[in-house]
């Protein structure tokens, strides 16, 4: 790829910063607050982007290429300033310019709130994909919601998680642009009236007595690295209709006006902070239809403008990728627009729709499956429901034709069944592609979760193993290592991560090992300083940094990790001959606000930390740290500083994982189960450079099919495990209230609330995990061996670039052509 580096006029840039500060705040830089300085710098950087942004869209209008619309309820973007500087290839130049203005780039970057319009893996994947699409010069839009409040901020008080609102727009977000000219009306509720068209004899369907909102888009620039491509992330805000149409007041329909005002206000107020848990909330369905309707209306309009109003070949230029089932109403909304607004008949509309929509599955967790009650769905979206009903009717006919007399197939596959609308079934039935996000995950979909669908339409199924962008998670997050790598093998890895394999040549080189470990040490010092500042805990950068950062969920098994810490602590206390490398166990995780066991687990980690960190008798052999408010920005620093990457989900439950890839890229050893993309990580780096433990996914699934296993056996037989479990309820870690962790204890040992004990096999895997941890200890003692191993992890991470993932989506699903933007 031809890398394009634009000229940078330092004096111009400095002038712009000073000028921005004046015009935005009527202040000189020295008077301005840090936030105002950040804004002044960010606007100057935005200026460097605008010409490219304009040029890119001129080029798209001219060439009329096929476009992918990445439809997602979540985009976990992380900070933009540093990333934009990186992708402009002007990080160092801008840093220098700021120094001359007496501004420290790190302090300035720290002023930016993380736009956190996402929960975890699924939202961050969307953000990595946008980075790769722009870098690879593929025309694309991200389509989502401009939540007023993103993912909550987490504070830890007395060991408990406290959620506070993330008011990310408070000071204004410098990179967004309001596109008031692309407003669309989105209708909810009312009823559908059938009106006969006198001339054609056709039935027209008209929604009446509805409430509506106006969707207004804001665009965020998505810069390609080292090229002129600037794509857009389009996030929709909701405004009340009355703002531009006082009609309802004129008619005296005051009530309706108020309702519409409220509808608009509530609609985009907040991101649902659940990860992997479906709750069936009406507002959530409203959010889904809101952004889908606006995005599809815009996409069809844009297409029609470029094709003389003829929609019949839409699929040639447009593809909608559904990021999980959340935007699945896309299917019915597109049908509605094609039929009701463009006069196509059902078959024409279906032909187009089913060539235009594709679906990605991100979880097999049953509790995440979206199933809307018919009552709710049809009341909120009456016309959309009619269309879904007809899709279902025809689909059931097809099932019957294929499996005559097989009621069971209908029960398992119908889109509407048992009073519910099943979004995954709709997405699979209508989509031309269905993909999982790691090899193992896709296999499980085909063999278990979606078996019937796979049997009926195997051609739709494919795998796209996830990836991450090395621009953010190495080049920006780990500048020391990035520079070192570039010194050794050149900078080709930045846009072609496979090249990082060239580092393999250095893994036995003593000097290179030393340099690599020295950088790791510096990154650990940087994290230690952060921990000191925010947690007040001293950690030793010479200890092993053993890290588990990800959303808190039982299947991810943070509990296994902390139970093992408790076990180790007992060992140190009771066995004077026990020797281990000093270890710092680092956790970071947000729990969904209503998820009790998850919140208790956070409290447990903090209480264990309190006891262990304050026990002088173990002379700092173990430290436990819970990093508050884990998010993209501190994540970048955490990945860079890790020695051990904890990827310990119950096998079969983690669809892919992407944190695992970020750690690997930054030179950490995976301590994990054979789950998700861990399987492929091990395949790339070799078994001897990872530490694997626990049940396989086949074993887990087998146990599940047999109705589980009996954890009491382990409790009775294993003294160490029993001791740790008793400590959950004897007050050792909960002075004030010995009952504090009763739910956790029960979840491991007792059948309750209709749920078996230990459904995530924590006790079953405990022994094997403890052995794996010993193996880590042993390997770390061999300094050269360890250095070689972590270097190999970095060297073999090439496959896990989201650039590779995107190229696969393009080739197998989207069929896009690159558009090169000349300037």
CA distances from 815 to 317, 340, 764, 808 (A): 10, 29, 46, 10
- Alpha-carbon distances of 670 from 522, 643, 649, rounded to whole Å: 21, 9, 12
Nearest to 691 by CA among 662, 664, 656, 654: 664
Q: Considering beta carbons, is residue 381 or 763 the nearer one to ligand 26V?
A: 381
Span 392-451, contacts to ligand 26V by CB under 6 A: 437
Query: 638-657: which residues touch ligand 26V (CB under 6 A)?
Result: 654-657
**CB of 802 vs ligand 26V, minimal distance in Å:** 11
Comparison of 126 and 772: residue with beta carbon closer to ligand 26V: 126
Closest separation between CB of residue 649 and ligand 26V, Å? Answer: 8
Identify the active-site residue in 650, 658, 670, 673: 658
Nearest distance, CB of residue 98 and ligand 26V, angstroms = 35
Q: Is 307 a catalytic residue?
A: no
CB of 658 to ligand 26V, least distance (A): 5
C-alpha torsion sign, points 534, 538, 541, 547: negative
Tell the smallest beta-carbon distance from residue 370 to ligand 26V (Å).
6
Query: By CB under 6 A, is residue 554 in contact with ligand 26V?
Result: no
**Catalytic residue list contains 146:** no
What's the token pair of residue 555? 């299947």
Q: Which is nearer to ligand 26V, 362 or 796 (CB)?
A: 362
CA 292, CA 381: separation in Å to the nearest integer?
13
| Total binding residues toward ligand 26V, as defined by CB under 6 A | 24
Q: Which element (helix H / strand E) includes 451?
A: helix 451-456
Cross-strand partners of 69: 141, 320
Active site residue 556: yes
Nearer to ligand 26V, 4 or 371 (CB): 371
Candidate list 551, 564, 653, 796, residue with the active-site label: 551
Q: Per rule CB under 6 A, is residue 126 in the interface with ligand 26V? A: no
Closest contact distance (angstroms) between CB of 145 and ligand 26V is 12
With respect to ligand 26V, which residue has the nearer C-beta, 225 or 800? 800
439 neighbors 463 (Cβ within 8 angstroms): yes
Helices (H), 678-741: 678-685, 697-705, 711-717, 719-727
Helix (H) or strand (E) holding 157: strand 153-157
Is 179 a binding residue for ligand 26V by CB under 6 A? The answer is no
At 552, is the secondary structure helix, strand, or coil? coil
**Contact positions with ligand 26V (CB under 6 A) in 17-76:** none
By beta-carbon proximity to ligand 26V, the closer residue of 13 and 278 is: 278
CB of 681 to ligand 26V, least distance (A): 12
Q: Which is nearer to ligand 26V, 185 or 269 (CB)?
A: 269
Residue 7 beta carbon to ligand 26V: minimum distance, rounded to whole angstroms: 39
The helix or strand, by DSSP H or E, that contains position 586, with its residue range, turns out to be strand 583-588
Distance (Å, whole) CA 145 – CA 72? 8
Q: Is the CB of 315 or the CB of 555 nearer to ligand 26V?
A: 555
Cα separation, 622 vs 585, in Å, equals: 7
Query: In the complex with ligand 26V, which residue's Cβ is closer, 271 or 481?
Result: 271
Query: Minimum Å distance from CB 436 to ligand 26V?
Result: 9
- Per CB under 6 A, which region of 15-23, 119-127, 135-143, 683-691 contacts ligand 26V? 119-127
CB of 70 to ligand 26V, least distance (A): 13
Is 658 designated active site? yes
Residues across the chain: 823
Among 137, 324, 452, 515, the residue binding ligand 26V under the rule CB under 6 A is 324
Active-site residue flag, 533: no
Please, which residues have CB within 8 angstroms of residue 220's CB and are 6 or more apart in sequence? 77, 80, 115, 175, 176, 177, 232, 233, 235
Give least dist CB 298 to ligand 26V, A. 24
CA distance 37 to 17: 8
Write b or e for each residue in 159-198: b if 16 or more Cβ atoms lie within 10 A of its Cβ, otherwise e. bebeeeebebbeeebbbbeeeeebbbebbbbbebeeeeee
| Chain centre distance of CA 379 | 31
Sign of CA dihedral 284, 442, 678, 477: negative
Residue 688, number of CB atoms within 10 A of its CB: 12
Query: Which residue in the set 67, 117, 122, 296 belongs to the binding site for ligand 26V (CB under 6 A)?
Result: 122
Structure tokens at 612: 């262990």
Q: In terms of CB distance, is 378 or 442 closer to ligand 26V?
A: 442
Q: How far apart are CA 466 and CA 125, in angstroms?
A: 8
Phi-psi region for residue 280, left (φ > 0), alpha (ψ -120 to 50) or beta? Answer: left
139 vs 659, beta carbon nearer ligand 26V: 659
Give the DSSP letter string of 66-124. -EEEEE-S-EE---SHHHHHHHTT-HHHHHHHHHHTT--HHHHHHTSPP-EES-SHHHH
Distance from first CA to last CA of the chain, Å, rounded?
Answer: 16
Contact assessment for residue 450 and residue 412, using Cβ atoms and an 8 Å cutoff: no
Answer for which of 86, 89, 368, 539 binds ligand 26V (CB under 6 A) is 368
From 336, 362, 472, 520, the catalytic residue: 362
Backbone angles phi, psi at 185, to 5 degrees: -90, 140
CA-based nearest residue to 312, from 250, 364, 356, 281: 356
Residues 240-279 touching ligand 26V, rule: CB under 6 A, are: 272, 274-279
Task: Report whether 215 contacts 236 (CB < 8 A).
Answer: yes
Q: Least separation, in Å, of the C-beta of 108 and ligand 26V?
A: 31
Answer for which of 39, 84, 119, 433 binds ligand 26V (CB under 6 A) is 119
User: What are the phi and psi torsion angles at 717 (to 5°)?
Assistant: -90, -35
Q: Which of 471, 550, 653, 764 is catalytic?
A: 550
**Which of the stretches 120-128, 144-152, 443-451, 791-799 binds ligand 26V when contact is defined by CB under 6 A?**
120-128
> d(Cα 312, Cα 66) in Å, to the nearest integer?
15
Site for ligand 26V in 486-545 (CB under 6 A): none
Return the HEC string of 739-776.
CCCHHHHHHHHCCECCECCCCCCHHHHHHHHHHHHHHH
Tokens of 114: 């993380």
Residue (293 or 466) nearer to ligand 26V, CB = 466
- Nearest-10 crossing angle of helices 254-267, 282-306: 90
- Regarding 740 and contact with ligand 26V (CB under 6 A), the answer is no
Q: Encoding tokens for residue 59?
A: 């080029």
Quick check: 328 binds ligand 26V (CB under 6 A)?
A: no
**By the rule CB under 6 A, 558 interacts with ligand 26V:** no
Residue tagged active-site, from 148, 187, 425, 662: 662
Binding mask 135-174 for ligand 26V (x = CB under 6 A): ----------------------------------------
- Binding ligand 26V (rule: CB under 6 A), the pick from 363, 442, 584, 613 is 363
Question: Would you count residue 302 as binding ligand 26V (CB under 6 A)?
Answer: no
User: Residue with CB nearest ligand 26V?
Assistant: 121
Catalytic residue among 66, 298, 556, 623: 556
Binding flag, residue 598, ligand 26V (CB under 6 A):
no
| Binding track, positions 446-475, relative to ligand 26V; x by CB under 6 A | --------------------x---------
- Minimum CB separation of residue 703 from ligand 26V in Å reads 21
CB nearer to ligand 26V: pick between 654 and 740: 654
- Tokens at residue 348, please? 């024409």
551 among known catalytic residues: yes
Q: Of residues 655-694, which lie at the interface with ligand 26V (CB under 6 A)? A: 655-658, 676
Site residues (CB under 6 A) for ligand 26V? 119-122, 125, 272, 274-279, 324, 362-363, 368, 437, 466, 654-658, 676
Residues carrying an active site annotation:
362, 550-551, 556, 658, 662
């Amino acid at each position: 790829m031809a890398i394009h580096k634009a000229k940078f006029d330092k004096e111009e840039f400095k002038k712009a910063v000073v000028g921005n500060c004046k015009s935005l705040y009527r202040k000189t830089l020295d008077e301005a607050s840090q936030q105002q300085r950040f804004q002044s710098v960010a606007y100057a950087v935005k200026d460097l982007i605008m010409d490219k942004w304009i040029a890119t869209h001129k080029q798209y209008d001219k060439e009329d290429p096929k476009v992918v619309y990445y439809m997602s309820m979540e985009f976990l973007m992380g900070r933009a300033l540093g990333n934009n500087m990186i992708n402009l290839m002007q990080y160092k130049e801008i840093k220098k310019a700021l120094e001359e203005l007496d501004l420290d780039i790190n302090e300035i970057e720290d002023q930016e709130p993380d736009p956190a319009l996402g929960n975890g893996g699924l939202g961050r994947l969307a953000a990595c994909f946008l980075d790769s699409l722009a870098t690879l010069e593929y025309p694309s839009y991200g389509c989502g919601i401009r939540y007023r409040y993103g993912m909550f901020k987490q504070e830890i008080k007395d060991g408990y998680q406290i959620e506070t609102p993330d008011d990310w727009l408070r000071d204004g977000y410098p990179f967004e642009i309001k596109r008031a000219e692309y407003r669309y009306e989105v209708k909810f509720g009312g009823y559908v009236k059938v009106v006969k068209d006198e001339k054609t004899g056709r039935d027209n369907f008209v929604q009446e007595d509805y409430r509506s909102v106006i969707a207004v888009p804001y665009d965020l620039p998505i810069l390609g690295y080292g090229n002129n491509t600037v794509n857009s992330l389009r996030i929709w805000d909701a405004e009340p209709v009355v703002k531009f149409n006082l009609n309802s007041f004129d008619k005296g329909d005051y009530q309706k006006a108020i309702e519409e005002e409220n509808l608009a206000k509530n609609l985009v107020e907040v991101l649902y902070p659940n990860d992997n848990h479906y709750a069936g909330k009406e507002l959530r369905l409203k959010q889904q239809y809101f952004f889908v309707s606006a995005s599809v209306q815009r996409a069809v309009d844009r297409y029609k403008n470029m094709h003389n109003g003829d929609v019949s070949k839409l699929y040639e230029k447009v593809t909608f990728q559904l990021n999980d089932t959340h935007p699945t109403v896309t299917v019915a909304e597109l049908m509605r627009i094609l039929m009701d607004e463009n006069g196509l008949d059902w078959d024409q509309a279906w032909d187009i729709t089913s060539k235009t929509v594709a679906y990605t599955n991100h979880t097999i967790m049953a509790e995440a499956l979206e199933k809307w009650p018919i009552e709710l769905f049809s009341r909120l979206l009456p016309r959309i429901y009619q269309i879904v009903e007809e899709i279902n009717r025809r689909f059931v006919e097809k099932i019957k034709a294929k499996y005559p007399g097989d009621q069971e197939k209908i029960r398992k596959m119908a889109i509407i069944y048992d009073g519910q609308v099943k979004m995954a079934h709709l997405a699979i039935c209508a989509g031309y592609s269905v993909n999982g996000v790691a090899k193992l995950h896709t296999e499980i979909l085909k063999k278990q979760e979606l078996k019937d669908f796979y049997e009926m339409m195997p051609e739709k199924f494919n795998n796209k193993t996830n990836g991450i962008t090395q621009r953010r998670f190495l080049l920006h997050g780990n500048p020391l290592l990035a520079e070192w790598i570039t010194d050794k093998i050149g900078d080709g890895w930045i846009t072609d991560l496979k090249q990082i394999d060239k580092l393999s040549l250095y893994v036995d080189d003593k000097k290179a090992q030393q340099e690599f470990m020295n950088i790791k040490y510096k990154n650990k010092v940087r994290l230690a300083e952060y921990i000191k500042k925010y947690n007040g805990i001293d950690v030793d950068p010479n200890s092993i940094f053993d890290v588990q950062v990800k959303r808190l969920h039982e299947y991810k098994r943070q509990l296994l990790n902390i139970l093992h810490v408790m076990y180790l602590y007992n060992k140190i206390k009771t066995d004077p001959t026990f020797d281990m490398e000093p270890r710092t166990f680092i956790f970071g995780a947000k729990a969904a606000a209503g998820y009790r066991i998850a919140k208790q687990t956070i409290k447990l980690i903090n209480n264990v930390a309190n006891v262990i960190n304050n026990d002088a008798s173990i002379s700092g052999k173990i430290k436990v740290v819970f990093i508050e408010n884990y998010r993209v920005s501190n994540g970048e620093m955490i990945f860079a500083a890790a020695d051990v990457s904890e990827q310990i989900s119950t096998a079969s439950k983690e669809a892919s994982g992407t944190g695992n890839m970020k750690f690997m890229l930054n030179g950490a050893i995976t301590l994990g189960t054979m789950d998700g993309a861990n399987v492929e990580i091990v395949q790339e780096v070799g078994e001897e450079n990872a530490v694997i433990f626990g049940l396989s996914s086949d074993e887990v699934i087998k146990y599940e099919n047999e109705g589980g296993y009996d954890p009491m056996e382990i409790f009775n037989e294993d003294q160490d495990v029993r001791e740790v479990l008793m400590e959950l309820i004897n007050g050792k870690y909960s002075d004030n209230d010995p009952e504090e962790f009763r739910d956790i204890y029960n979840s491991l040992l007792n059948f309750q609330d209709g749920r078996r004990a230990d459904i995530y096999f924590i006790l079953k895997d405990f022994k094997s995990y403890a052995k794996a941890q010993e193996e880590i200890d042993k390997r770390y003692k061999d300094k050269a061996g360890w250095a070689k191993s972590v270097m190999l992890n970095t060297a073999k991470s090439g496959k896990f670039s989201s650039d590779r993932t995107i190229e696969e989506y393009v080739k197998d699903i989207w069929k896009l052509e690159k558009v090169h933007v000349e300037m």
